[in-house]
Amino acid sequence: MNRVILHVDMDAFYASVEMARRPELRGRPMYVGGAHRGVVLSANYEARRYGIESGMSSTRARRLCPQAVAVPPDFDAYQVVSHGVFAIFETVTAQVEAASIDEAFLDITGALRRLGDPVMIGERLRAQVADEQQVPCSVGIGPSKFVAKLASKQAKPDGLVLVRPQEVLDFLHPLPVEAMWGVGPSTAGRLHKLGLLTVADLAHTPRATLQRAFGANQGGQLHDLAWGRDARRVVPEQTERSIGAQETFARDTDDAAMVRTEILRLSGRVASRMRRAQMLGRVVCVEVRFADFSTTSRTITLDSLTDVTDEVFDGAWRAFGRLKLQRARIRRVGVRVEGLVEADQAFQQLPLDAPERGMREVELVADEVVNRFGPAAVQRASLTRR
């Protein structure tokens, strides 16, 4: 493959976040939106079996399924989970293009040698999102953004589809024209009037005919996409990069020891991601959400760049101390390292008495063991105790 593109699409994102927060909703038809007015923003798959879908009025949704549970939206919660998901993406590749709050394109061409074959990368990414954020996602893999996006749609729900370059036409041509990028109801109706029902029909229609019917640009694009030709690149946003992780407690807690242990666990997770992404950082941020859903954060700047768990944790715990909390009940805690730079481009001033080998080398070895035998193979003793 000249290029390998992943399209990651979260499944029923808002609804999935709400089910992760409220497990009693799992298995029941539910949707995010107004109970008696407004529109449906997201519906789980149980609700979709009754015909409930995004954009539908809440009134109609109640008629279709009176027993469906309506959950008011919490956009702050969705944004937090989205940030966590994109932080996972950035451990795979720096080439991440956000298509929306719940979907992205990843160009993993340069990550294959480091992380393995595309399916292995996709499945590990899906497992990590499910484990850390408790929401499912579907992954499509192909040689272009267009094919990868269609593949992720075929993978739903909670699956993965790989389309190799030699399989592109066999994958595309049986699809209905409605599956084409940019073909809405109006364009589909015009294609049907021309007798074009499938992508194969579109592909075997002369380019000039399509350009006469739809204009030079749209007609030419339809013809190219029908033959799997899509030269668009993944364009990452030019924003300050960060890597983070967050965890919601099973019950709200004011136990400082429990919070400290969780910050240590999250610091290890963040540092591991940084090493995997070959990034270093020195700005450590701790974010805390309280039982009343209010959120606050504090930031510490370390003396030097790092990707070592102990150093990230030291900064995170000092940042937490600056909150000066007095037995406040905490719902969720998060750790994030910002201002990242490529490890091979970073300058680190080591003290004269620094040992030749230190904790970073220990953690690199531990990373290898974990990659081979699983996350429980090597752990800090304090994280194994209940």
What tokens were used for 199?
A: 């992508």
107 is known to lie in a ligand binding site: no
344 is known to lie in a ligand binding site: no
Nearest CA among 30, 54, 51 for reference residue 42: 54
Instruction: List strand residue ranges (DSSP E) for 13-150, in order.
Output: 30-33, 40-43, 69-71, 96-100, 103-107, 137-142
Instruction: List strand residue ranges (DSSP E) for the chain, in order.
Output: 5-10, 30-33, 40-43, 69-71, 96-100, 103-107, 137-142, 160-162, 242-253, 279-290, 295-306, 330-338, 341-342
- DSSP letter string, 91-102: HH-S-EEEEETT
Q: Tell me which of 18, 46, 90, 103 is the catalytic residue.
A: 103
- Residue 114 CA to residue 367 CA, distance in Å, equals 14
Q: Write the CB contacts of 365 (distance below 8 Å, at least 6 apart in sequence).
A: none
CA 188 to chain centroid, in Å, comes to 31
- Residue 86 CA to residue 99 CA, distance in Å, equals 11
- Residue 162 CA to residue 167 CA, distance in Å, equals 9
Buried b (16+ CB within 10 A) or exposed e, 155-170: bbebbbbbbeeeebee
Q: Write the CB contacts of 299 (distance below 8 Å, at least 6 apart in sequence).
A: 283, 284, 285, 286, 319, 338
188: left (phi over 0), alpha (psi -120 to 50) or beta: alpha
123 labelled catalytic: no
Q: Tell me the catalytic residues.
A: 103
- Please give the annotated binding residues, written as ranges: 9, 102
Query: Residues annotated as binding site for Mg(2+)?
Result: 9, 102
